[in-house]
Amino acid sequence: MKEMKFETKVIHVGGEPDPTTGAIMPPIYQTSTYVQSSPGEHKGYEYTRSHNPTRSRLEECLASLENAKHCLVTASGLSASTLIMHMLPKGSKIVCGDDVYGGTYRLFSKVFPDIHHYKFVDTTNLKKLEEQVLAEKPALIWIETPTNPLLKISDIAVISAMAKKIGALTVVDNTFMSPFFQNPLDHGADIVLHSVTKFINGHSDVIGGAMMMNSQDLRDKLFFLQNAIGPAQSPFDSWLVLRGIKTLAVRMKAHEQNAMKVADYLDKHPKVERVVYPGLKSHPQYELGKKQMRGTGGMITFYIKGGINESRKFLENVKLFALAESLGGVESLVDHPAIMTHASIPREVREGLGIFDNLVRLSVGIEDCDDLIGDLENAFSKI
């Protein structure tokens, strides 16, 4: 059969009817262990921390969406990041983008600093990055693109080639684009990481992570650690993601359509200082985005004119946009990164990056766009 298109893969890969009953929905294998006919003789499943048929179906589907040979699904995005850090020899050097999700920054700077050495750099500045990479000779380059929350876009192909020259691995956190809009392995990255919690699941009812790769060696090392350390996803959560993922393509199109309209609206608003959205020509890496992404996604960052008081007034008055951490669900969310998702980054570092008290991040959902704009307009009128 011809290679399936994305819209077909999300529904059919890993979604085959149950062979024993014909059930069109995959069963939830809610079991911790599996009966063996003789010691060591089993059907490929021994214990759910290691393998589970519901999770295997999700791994098969996610691997195909990232054009990868392998996928491992974990209990959270951060547990996937943790496994990658444990895979590196003690004392490894890591060059990491300076504007990564606050929890990733916290993991690297507070949990692993006695084990590895981290340099946080602006990975959009390729000249400076190359200088750092040549000076540091890191074991791994970690990029998030577009970044959370500033939506900076880094060149995956150039950075992966830079890493390969010195024998380093490249990891790309692809959470914001989802596999629908971007496939980092196709641009030369070694591992793609997702917080499955976000667009992939899409319904704000699961915490999960995933890593996709082509190398059997990387897969085996990470699988060993997943089993040895223990952060595999539960069968029920894998099943929920298998359900949510069926609409990933239609959801991503709807998120993007709404986000483009909201970004245009904000761009013209007298109470807005600046809007950052990859679909606006004013985005600093607009052309690069068009080259490596197939769309511009559902995330928008903007600066309100004023400071914390104006931000608070706005955030207390939105009604459809729920003031909450996280992103990527069908419902619209609004976040104040400085106080909420990125509070673990010291103020001086945060402000050096541009995460000020007047910065607001929107995860634009798939509701009616006029309703969403009406909600924002009402909140602006209260400032």
**Minimum distance, C-beta of residue 300 to ligand PLP, in the bound complex (Å):** 15
Q: How far apart are CA 224 and CA 323, in angstroms?
A: 39
Binding region for ligand PLP (CB under 6 A) out of 21-29, 73-81, 132-140, 372-380: 73-81
Region label for 202, one of left (φ > 0), alpha (ψ between -120 and 50) or beta (otherwise): left
**Minimum distance, C-beta of residue 211 to ligand PLP, in the bound complex (Å):** 12
Q: How far apart are CA 283 and CA 287, in angstroms?
A: 9
**Minimum distance, C-beta of residue 207 to ligand PLP, in the bound complex (Å):** 5
99, 173, 335, 375: the catalytic one is 173
**Minimum distance, C-beta of residue 103 to ligand PLP, in the bound complex (Å):** 5
Binding region for ligand PLP (CB under 6 A) out of 30-38, 44-52, 98-106, 226-234: 98-106
- Comparison of 78 and 364: residue with beta carbon closer to ligand PLP: 78
Find the binder of ligand PLP among 76, 123, 145, 183 (CB under 6 A).
76
Is 368 considered catalytic here? no
Binding region for ligand PLP (CB under 6 A) out of 97-105, 115-123, 254-262, 283-291: 97-105
**Helix, strand, coil fractions of the chain, as percent rounded to 5:** 40, 15, 45
Buried b (16+ CB within 10 A) or exposed e, 30-65: eeeebeeeeeeeeeebeebeebbbbbbbbbebbbbb
Q: In the stretch 115-154, what mask flags binding to ligand PLP with x, by CB under 6 A?
A: -----------------------------x---x------
- Compute the half-sphere exposure of residue 319: CA atoms within 13 Å on the CB side of its CA: 8
Is 49 considered catalytic here? yes
**Minimum distance, C-beta of residue 16 to ligand PLP, in the bound complex (Å):** 27
Q: How far apart are CA 100 and CA 78, in angstroms?
A: 12
29, 101, 277, 303: the catalytic one is 101
Within 310-369, which residues bind ligand PLP (CB under 6 A)?
none
Q: How far apart are CA 303 and CA 337, in angstroms?
A: 11
Binding region for ligand PLP (CB under 6 A) out of 7-15, 74-82, 252-260, 346-354: 74-82
Residue 197 binds to ligand PLP (criterion: CB under 6 A): yes
Find the binder of ligand PLP among 14, 97, 103, 202 (CB under 6 A).
103
Q: Which residues contact 64 (CB under 8 A, 6 or more apart)?
A: 4, 9, 13, 14
Give SS3 for 95. strand
**Minimum distance, C-beta of residue 340 to ligand PLP, in the bound complex (Å):** 11
Sheet holding 209-213, edge to edge: 70-74, 209-213, 191-195, 169-173, 140-144, 93-97, 117-121
Q: How far apart are CA 163 and CA 157, in angstroms?
A: 10
Contact between residue 63 and residue 114 where contact means Cβ atoms under 8 Å apart: no
**Minimum distance, C-beta of residue 198 to ligand PLP, in the bound complex (Å):** 6
By beta-carbon distance, which residue lies closest to ligand PLP? 77
Residue with tokens 């300076």: 98
- Comparison of 15 and 103: residue with beta carbon closer to ligand PLP: 103
Binding region for ligand PLP (CB under 6 A) out of 19-27, 84-92, 100-108, 288-296: 100-108
Contact between residue 95 and residue 104 where contact means Cβ atoms under 8 Å apart: no
Within 154-183, which residues bind ligand PLP (CB under 6 A)?
173, 175
Find the binder of ligand PLP among 15, 77, 146, 231 (CB under 6 A).
77
Phi, psi of 55 (to 5 degrees): -65, -40
- Comparison of 330 and 373: residue with beta carbon closer to ligand PLP: 330
Instruction: Give the β-pairing of 299-304 and 272-276.
Output: antiparallel
The secondary structure of residue 134, as a DSSP letter, is: H
- Comparison of 169 and 369: residue with beta carbon closer to ligand PLP: 169
Is 319 considered catalytic here? no
198, 219, 350, 361: the catalytic one is 198
Q: How far apart are CA 172 and CA 359, in angstroms?
A: 25
Q: Which residues are catalytic?
A: 49, 101, 173, 198
Binding site for ligand PLP (CB under 6 A): 76-78, 101, 103-104, 144, 148, 173, 175, 195, 197, 207, 209
